[in-house]
Structures are given as C-alpha cells and as structure tokens.
A and B are shown apart, each in its own frame.
Chain A
Amino acid sequence: MSLTSTQSGDARVITVSADRIDAAMAIQFKEDMRAETEGGPDRIILDLSAVTFIDSSGLGAIVASMKQLGANRKLDLAGLTPVVDKVFRLTRMDTVFNLFASLDDALADGVN
C-alpha cells in the first residue's frame, strides 16, 4: 500500500508515499485509492508532495480515482512537485482538478 489517510476537518487527506506514479503502479494506485476513499467525507485531498514523477498512466489513474468517487465528492490535489505539475499543465488536467501548492494551502481553502 502506497497510501496513508488521515482525517483533517471535513476532508480526508490521502498521502502518497511512493516517489513515482507510473505505468508499473497505476493499477495498484487506483485500487488503493478506491479502498482509501470508500465512505468518508465528500472532499478528498491527495497529497502528492513525495511524488517526483508521474506518467500518463499515473495521470489516468488519478483521473479514474476521481471518477470512481461519484458525482457529489471531489478530489483536490496538493503539493505538486515540478515534473508532476508540468504533466498536469501539459495535458490541461490542471483545468479539471483544483491544484494547491501545499497541503496547508489545500486545508486553508476548505476553511474559507
């Protein structure tokens, strides 16, 4: 399991401990996300600050994780490192997700 989750206010924070979300782990990631997001709050914050690389398979797994949440819940992304941030911008997936520079920023946004 590459994910750990904690509750913070009205959000569930899921932290990725792997340094890469790539083709070799995309399916496992999606399954782990399903397990970690079963039930619980409507807002999920995925903390990506430990992830230094993502490929299109990993990106697809994050999109799939958002879709499997259902319509009334949302997946926000926090702590994108430079390469991860670039992949989201290149593919314009930065227009689909809310991206926060850090977990603190993501949590502060939920308060306001």
Chain B
Amino acid sequence: MNLNRRRDGFALSFRATELEARAGICAVASQLKERGLSEDKAGDVEIALAEAINNVVEHAYTGIEPGKVRVRCTFHVNRLDVRICDMGHPLPSNQLPAGEAANLDVDRQDLPEGGFGWFMIRQIASDISYQREEGHNLLSLGFDLPCTQP
C-alpha cells in the first residue's frame, strides 16, 4: 500500500484483494482521525468507503486479475471528498445502483444476507457521482463536515 500525504488531504492505493482492501480502509480511517475527524464522522465515512471498495473488489475486478484501487481524500471547508478509482469492469449499465432498502418484512429464512452496500452509501454520503472514463471507474463520495474541521 502506498500512502501520500498532501496539505489538503491524502491519497493511497492498494491491490484489489480483500486483505489489501481491509488495510486500505483502516489506513483511510486512521488518517481521517489523525486529521481531526470525530470518531463518529470517521466511522460514517469508513462504513461508506468500505462498501464502495468492497464493490470494486467483488464486482469491478471479478473474473480478471485484481488491479489497483486508488483512494483520494480531500478536505474542504465543511466537506470531505473521497474519490475511488479502479480499472475494472464498469458498473452495470454505467449507472449507480438504486440502492434501495432491503425488504425485511419476510420469513426469517428469507432474510437478505447482502445487498445493503449501496443503500448504506446513499444513506451516509451527502452526494455521489460516478463516471466511466477511458477504462477507469471513478466514484466520488461527498461527506458534510462540521465547519470546525480543517
């Protein structure tokens, strides 16, 4: 894993495997706390980021050699931008999934064991955008921060 610190944020990259993804997600969370994010806010970002990165590992690089995942976090006055870039398969129909809430009003044996990821990302992030460009996926997640953040 490579970590580059910058004045207004930091960037890191790692290979799209489950274990490297875990290390990358932990590194982002710890950098966010080092830069003054509250435990609560850093926890929120970590939840959304983990879902986005797990999607890259499980879907974008499915059936092909796991490539790089690049994560760049940039602090603004009252906002954190997180950009996640990979070179895997595009999202289905080149679109962000709807991320609807799972239906839990079912028999116990029929309860969903997945499909919560995009729903959680949409609940936590204040804005989301996705672009497919020249073989890259670029997902941008924005998070509101209290004005006292760097």
A-side residues, CB < 8 A to B, are 20, 22-24, 53, 55-57, 59-61, 63-64, 66-67, 71, 82-83, 86-87, 90-93, 95-96
The secondary structure that dominates the B interface is helix
The verdict on B18 contacting chain A, using a C-beta distance below 8 Å, is yes
The verdict on B119 contacting chain A, using a C-beta distance below 8 Å, is yes
B-side residues, CB < 8 A to A, are 18-19, 21-22, 25, 39-40, 43-44, 46-47, 50-51, 54, 57-58, 101-102, 104, 108-109, 111-117, 119-120, 123-124
24 contacts between A and B (CB under 8 A): A22-B18, A22-B50, A23-B54, A55-B54, A55-B117, A56-B115, A57-B114, A59-B116, A60-B112, A63-B112, A63-B113, A67-B111, A71-B108, A82-B39, A82-B43, A83-B47, A86-B47, A87-B47, A90-B47, A90-B123, A91-B101, A91-B102, A95-B104, A96-B104
Contacts of B109 in A (CB 8 A): 67, 71
